Amino acid sequence: MATQNTPTQDIADLIARCALRDRDAFRTLYERTSAKLFGVTLRILKDRSEAEEAVQEVYVKVWQRADRYVAGNTSPISWLVAVARNHSLDILRARRPPSADIDVALEVPDAAPSPERAAQNNEERGQIEKCLGTLESDRADAVRGAYLDGYSYEELASRYAVPLNTMRTWLRRSLIKLKECLTA
Q: Looking only at residues 87 through 106 of this chain, which bind other proteins when binding is defined by CB under 8 A?
A: 89, 92-94, 96, 98-99, 101, 103-106
125: CB partners within 8 A, 6+ apart: none
Is 141 among the residues that bind other proteins (CB under 8 A)? no
Q: Which residues pair with 71 in a beta bridge?
A: 74
Residues written for the chain? 184
List the one residue from 8, 11, 32, 129 that touches other proteins (CB under 8 A): 129
Which residues partner with 74 through β-bridges? Answer: 71
Using the rule CB under 8 A, is 115 a contact of other proteins?
A: yes
* Burial class of residue 22 in the structure, from the number of CB atoms within 10 Å of its CB (0-12 exposed, 13-18 middle, 19+ buried): middle
Residue 105: what residue type? A
Q: Is 112 exposed, middle or buried (0-12, 13-18, 19+ CB in 10 A)?
A: exposed
Indicate whether 184 belongs to the interface with other proteins (CB under 8 A). no
Residue 107 near other proteins by CB under 8 A: yes
**Interaction between residue 136 and other proteins (CB under 8 A):** no
Q: Which is nearer to other proteins, 20 or 161 (CB)?
A: 20
Of 68, 134, 136, 138, the one binding other proteins (CB under 8 A) is: 68
Member of 7, 8, 27, 158 binding other proteins (CB under 8 A): 27
Query: To the nearest whole angstrom, how small is the minimum distance from the Cβ of residue 159 to other proteins?
Result: 14
Q: How many CB atoms lie within 10 A of CB 59?
A: 19
